[in-house]
Structure 1
Amino acid sequence: MTALKKYQRIEATGLWRPSPDEQRREVVVSIGEATLTISDFNDRALTHWSLAALERQNPGSFPAIFHPDGDPDETLELAETETTMLDAIDRLQRAIDRARPHPGRLRWLSVGGVVAAVLALLLFWLPAALQGHVVSVVPQVKRQEIGQTILHRIERVSGRACSSVDAQASLDRLAKRTGVRQIIILPAGVQDSLSLPGGTVVLNKSLVEDFEDPAVAAGYVIAERARMEQTDPLDDLLDRTGASSAFRLLTTGGLTPAIIDSYTEQVVSEPRPSLLDDQLLAVFAQAALPSTPYAYARDITGETVLGLIEADPMAGRTLEQVLPDRDWVRLQNICGE
């Protein structure tokens, strides 16, 4: 050890006492290889102390009193004037301490690693686990209530949902034909379509007013149904508004107006999530509905929706009528009555 070599020839005089019952005697103190040697004036070694196990009884006071670790009865006193020896002992003890293993540090590093892992778990896994649990336990009635609240928020901008006694039966038939719980027609507020928690699909009135084929509106409902199968609308709401929303819904059974407003503003202003053709076509096939009318409604050229046209699951088959003509006409007038 470099620090030891530097101090190998240092000597000093001190007072050594092997036990409290004996008189102190003057001795010569010298530093060896990691040891403190106490000798008489005839150069005869009286004892050897390990520097690593050397303790000072009175730090900062003089004369400095040292003793072996675990044996405070045997002492060595060094006067304040022995600065070179005192400095050497201090430096060598620090050098030895740095060189030996520190299990405590490893323990703290291990503890720190465990704490970091737990915090990471709480930060990344727990919110997702909580959200997944909440989505799985919220009953259908509560989902419908949340969906209705979102609809009311949209209606503040779009105006009230279109309704008429005659057209409602046609709307119910379209919902049954497309496999959703409820369809709502709005005069504005949504770009094309939107799915809400509880199984409600919202359509812009243009989808019933601007097309002669009810398969177009049905296709947009099918697309929302495919999105609901891919991502639960309630899961989407909680994902957008944060873990605190999931915790609130779990503990109080409700969501604040601020949470509902935040979610509503996001979903009505953003484009609807895209779907793979295979996902869409599977739901069209399940509902026995053609995908071609929906595809051309999205892109009149057909270029960007070619997969939906060429792989139409109902191509070449006898099609069941989406809605009777009378029902479709009533539905087209639902916002004008």
Structure 2
Amino acid sequence: MTALSQYARLETTGLWRTGPGDAGREVVVSFGKATLVLSDSAGLPLTHWSLPAITRLNPGAAPALYAPDIDGSETLEVEDDTMVSAIETVRAAVAKGQAAAPRQIRWVAGWLVVAAALAGAVLWLPGALQREALAVVPDAKRTEIGATILGHLQRTLGGACRDPLGAEALARLHDRALGNGGQAVVLPLGPASPIELPGGITILSREMVERAAEPAVVAGQLLAARVAAGDDPLARLLDDVGLWATLKLLATGDLDPDALARHAEDLLAAPAPALGADRLGPAFSQAQVPLKPYALDRDPTGAGVADLLAADAHAAQEPPILLTDSEWVALQGICEGG
């Protein structure tokens, strides 16, 4: 978005609080592609806030107080007038973009609505709608949708674990396994299997992290979430919410909040996907992550994961170092700090 590119190099400091009882921590505030990035003094990202979802809690007051969602339990205090002006400009641009869908989207939506009225329940329509939505929904909107689903999951599974050193280690491992962009989040009470949401938000459970014997197991969970989500997690969402919700997304740029809440429930209720060597092997090989540790985490006997063990491209090699020992200890304690 033009408003964002204008402020791409802008940075300032802010006071970040992870909850009502938190005394606060000074962080560096900067803009990402579709997020507001909060980093420590060394430049390591601590968390990413979706720009479309950011809420101003005290309009007109100073210092400005922001939250990543309407709940406002996590907050960021910003005193720098230039940064406040930049955030407000970007928020206004996002709101304007959401209020008036791009001309292409409106045209396509109008054409498809007419086609739907004329053709009724034509078999090709749902697939055509989904393909069009996947082609035109921008990254910022995907991040907003993923952050909203994450909010619904947190109401059931608890707030994200945010020990600072653990969060830094998790961000390093995420980028090592999946590349830059997106983020990993650890929730204290689940899910039962790793989940990737639209916008590249990957959800792990505290139990997955704490039981892991080594970093390759957690990296494997991140990769398994990516593989299970297929080419695009938004496609899984659109399959779930159905035809009319997809039409609404094309026409207005928004999805029904109730539909997103139901999708979060469906994700938790869905059985763990059966991922075999044909799907996991290439993903682990490309990411240069050994497959054996993840396979044995799934089945310590090895009997039920023989195909995964045989597909480990690093079986005869020295295992790569994914995290240092201190980073690994910090990651396993990510939920100890709240």
> Given the two structures, how large is their TM-score scaled by the length of structure 2?
0.62
CA displacement, residues 152-174 of structure 1 (integer Å, 9 cap, x when unaligned): 00110111000022222111101
Pairing of 1:317-332 with structure 2 (within 5 A): 317-332=317-332
SS of the aligned residue for 2:329 comes to: helix
Aligned to 1:60: none
Letter in 2 for 1:262: R
SS of the aligned residue for 1:207 comes to: helix
Pairing of 1:226-265 with structure 2 (within 5 A): 226-228=227-229, 230-265=230-265
Q: CA RMSD in A?
A: 1.6
In structure 2, what is the Cα distance between the partners aligned to 1:299 and 1:121? 48
Displacement after TM superposition at 1:120 (Å): 6.7
In structure 1, what is the Cα distance between the partners aligned to 2:273 and 2:236? 11
Letter in 2 for 1:308: L
Aligned to 2:24: none
In structure 1, what is the Cα distance between the partners aligned to 2:268 and 2:261? 11
In structure 2, what is the Cα distance between the partners aligned to 1:266 and 1:292? 30
Aligned to 1:140: 139
In structure 1, what is the Cα distance between the partners aligned to 2:259 and 2:249? 11
SS of the aligned residue for 1:305 comes to: helix
Aligned to 1:310: 310
Displacement after TM superposition at 1:226 (Å): 1.7
Letter in 1 for 2:329: V
Aligned to 1:95: none
Aligned to 2:208: 207
In structure 2, what is the Cα distance between the partners aligned to 1:222 and 1:236? 17
CA displacement, residues 109-131 of structure 1 (integer Å, 9 cap, x when unaligned): xxxxxxxxx97774311121011
CA displacement, residues 268-298 of structure 1 (integer Å, 9 cap, x when unaligned): 1112322331221001000111111111111
Aligned to 2:107: none
In structure 1, what is the Cα distance between the partners aligned to 2:204 and 2:138? 25
2:190 and 2:206 in contact (8 A); partners too: no
CA displacement, residues 228-271 of structure 1 (integer Å, 9 cap, x when unaligned): 3x341111011011011111111111111111011111111112
Displacement after TM superposition at 1:318 (Å): 2.1
**Identity among equivalent pairs (%):** 40
Aligned to 2:189: 188
Larger displacement relative to structure 2 (302-311 or 143-152) = 302-311
Pairing of 1:1-337 with structure 2 (within 5 A): 122-180=121-179, 181-228=182-229, 230-337=230-337
- Deviation >6 Å, runs of 4+: 118-121
1:154 and 1:189 in contact (8 A); partners too: no
Letter in 1 for 2:166: A
2:281 and 2:312 in contact (8 A); partners too: yes
Displacement after TM superposition at 1:191 (Å): 0.5
In structure 2, what is the Cα distance between the partners aligned to 1:142 and 1:211? 33
Unmatched tracts of structure 1, length 5 or more? 1-117
SS of the aligned residue for 1:202 comes to: strand
In structure 2, what is the Cα distance between the partners aligned to 1:301 and 1:212? 15
Displacement after TM superposition at 1:299 (Å): 1.2
Please say which structure displays the higher CA radius of gyration.
1
In structure 2, what is the Cα distance between the partners aligned to 1:127 and 1:152? 28
Unmatched tracts of structure 2, length 5 or more? 1-116
In structure 1, what is the Cα distance between the partners aligned to 2:302 and 2:319? 21
2:190 and 2:207 in contact (8 A); partners too: no
Letter in 2 for 1:186: L
Letter in 1 for 2:274: S
Displacement after TM superposition at 1:308 (Å): 0.6
Aligned to 1:88: none
> Given the two structures, how large is their TM-score scaled by the length of structure 1?
0.62
In structure 1, what is the Cα distance between the partners aligned to 2:206 and 2:190? 10
In structure 1, what is the Cα distance between the partners aligned to 2:157 and 2:232? 24
Letter in 2 for 1:172: A
1:153 and 1:264 in contact (8 A); partners too: yes
Displacement after TM superposition at 1:227 (Å): 2.4
SS of the aligned residue for 2:213 comes to: coil
In structure 2, what is the Cα distance between the partners aligned to 1:120 and 1:299? 50
